Homo-oligomer: A and B are copies of this chain.
Amino acid sequence: MAVLHTEMKNGILLRVADLLESSAGEILKANRADMKEAGKAGLQGAILERLTLTEERITGIAEGLRQVVQLEDPIGEIEMMKKRPNGLLIGKKRVPLGVVGVIYESRPNVTADVAGLCIKTGNVCVLRGGKEAHQSNKAIVNVFHKALDESGMDPHMVQLVGDTTRESALAMMKLDTYLDILIPRGGAGLIRAVVENSTVPVIETGVGNCHVYVDEDADPEKAISIVYNAKTHRPGVCNAAESLLVHQKVAEKLLPLIGKELMKGGVEIRGDASTCRIIPEAVSATEEDWSTEYLDLVISSKVVDSVEAAVDHINKYGTGHSEAIVTENYTHAQYFLDRVDAAAVYINASTRFTDGFEFGYGAEIGISTQKLHARGPMGLRELTTYKYVIYGSGQIR
């Protein structure tokens, strides 16, 4: 697979996209079976919503694959080639990671996204989806198998784990002889379990306790719209803001305006003493609130006395995902950029932009919150590694 030409890989992806649309009926039927089981099992709103497929969503998945076709294939690129004093030519060549394992929860679109990105990068993928979505996942993977088979490729390039018990996930975590990387996509509990149990190298994804810091030199309008957008645009996702920090010099003036806007959007504010004094509707935050990823219409709020204090708070409580400062002050902006330890640090923009599509990477396989290998949105390039290729003419040491 590492030596497949881009044309071949793109051909498979286009065929999958077409087949997904023409097989929409079967996929939706499988999805309805999943939904029925989920209903019986008493699953709640957000999970059911993620699980649901529609004709439109399937078209969206197919469109996503067509976009991946448009992306440049990183495989085979020689990034560096230098001549050493002894005449050895040493090059660094982009190659697939090998076998990519992904453990995820209820979203069937992840199946197609991951398989598509892996095909484009010449990786084999082993998919362990949630049991709620198993029928839907099987229907989607069948489409990939059909397209691979038609192209004369081994359908095992895309593998769905048939066993959706906890045991199968645990077993995958120990397959370091076979898997080159394991990516958990889901809630904090799943991610923690993978980090603790896996002997396969893991990429931690997703947990986002993201902050917006409104500096003393913030433009009030930008502050209000960025905080509002970061919190309310899609509160259930990892790049949504969970915590607001406001400089004390502008707290009296700006917090009431920001608070009013947030409350109009149905947001509950959990504040420190200063916030609660300035916004009477706010409830008292506990220590736990500062490290909580609500994934809901709730925000914690604290008044700080300097950009330094804001950065310290963020580096203490943040999860290294996305952090934003709103300021017109050059030095404060640079200080924040330099000192905040996170995958994505924003000046005067919403944290909601941390995402593969927004960064121009096409689809994404997850958002890394660790520092090794990949940070932030992981696209095609993050599914690759390199090898050194060395051209000699008989050199020995």
Cβ A338 vs Cβ B3 within 8 A: yes
- Cα distance, A353 to B392, chains bound together (Å): 11
Query: Which residues of the other chain, B, contact A260 by a CB distance below 8 angstroms?
Result: none
**8 Å CB contacts to B: which residues of A350-383?**
350, 352-354, 358-360, 370-373, 375-376
Q: Give the shortest distance, in Å, between A65 (CB) and chain B (any CB).
A: 22
Cβ B388 vs Cβ A359 within 8 A: yes
Is A98's CB within 8 Å of the partner chain B? yes
Query: Which residues of the other chain, B, contact A201 by a CB distance below 8 angstroms?
Result: 201-202, 370-372
Q: Give the shortest distance, in Å, between A378 (CB) and chain B (any CB).
A: 12
Is A264's CB within 8 Å of the partner chain B? no
Query: Which residues of the other chain, B, contact A228 by a CB distance below 8 angstroms?
Result: 396
Which of B339, B348, B395 is within 8 Å of A3, CB to CB? Answer: B339
**8 Å CB contacts to B: which residues of A302-338?**
337-338
Cβ A386 vs Cβ B394 within 8 A: no
Cβ B226 vs Cβ A396 within 8 A: yes
Cβ A233 vs Cβ B371 within 8 A: no
- Cα distance, A180 to B320, chains bound together (Å): 12
Cβ B371 vs Cβ A385 within 8 A: yes
**8 Å CB contacts to B: which residues of A213-236?**
219, 221-222, 225-226, 228-230, 233
Cβ B359 vs Cβ A376 within 8 A: no
Q: Give the shortest distance, in Å, between A235 (CB) and chain B (any CB).
A: 13
Query: Which residues of the other chain, B, contact A354 by a CB distance below 8 angstroms?
Result: 388
- Cα distance, A358 to B392, chains bound together (Å): 13
Given A358-B84, A372-B97, A397-B352, A387:B229 Cβ within 8 A? no
The count of chain A contact residues (Cβ–Cβ below 8 Å) is 65
Cβ B388 vs Cβ A376 within 8 A: yes
Question: Which DSSP category, helix, strand, loop or mixed, fits chain A's interface?
Answer: mixed
- Cα distance, A195 to B203, chains bound together (Å): 15
Cβ A233 vs Cβ B391 within 8 A: no
- Cα distance, A37 to B98, chains bound together (Å): 46
Query: Which residues of the other chain, B, contact A222 by a CB distance below 8 angstroms?
Result: 394
Cβ B390 vs Cβ A225 within 8 A: no
Given A195-B176, A359-B90, A394:B349 Cβ within 8 A? yes
Cβ B371 vs Cβ A181 within 8 A: yes
Cβ B180 vs Cβ A348 within 8 A: no
Cβ A393 vs Cβ B342 within 8 A: no
Cβ B219 vs Cβ A349 within 8 A: no
Q: Give the shortest distance, in Å, between A368 (CB) and chain B (any CB).
A: 10
Query: Which residue of B is nearest A394, CB measured?
Result: B222
Cβ A347 vs Cβ B392 within 8 A: yes
Query: Which residues of the other chain, B, contact A226 by a CB distance below 8 angstroms?
Result: 394, 396
Chain A interface (Cβ < 8 Å from any Cβ of B): 2-3, 82, 84, 88, 90, 95, 97-98, 176, 180-181, 195-196, 199, 201-203, 219, 221-222, 225-226, 228-230, 233, 337-339, 341-350, 352-354, 358-360, 370-373, 375-376, 385-397
Nearest first, the 5 A-B pairs at minimum CB distance are: A349-B392, A229-B396, A373-B373, A371-B385, A222-B394
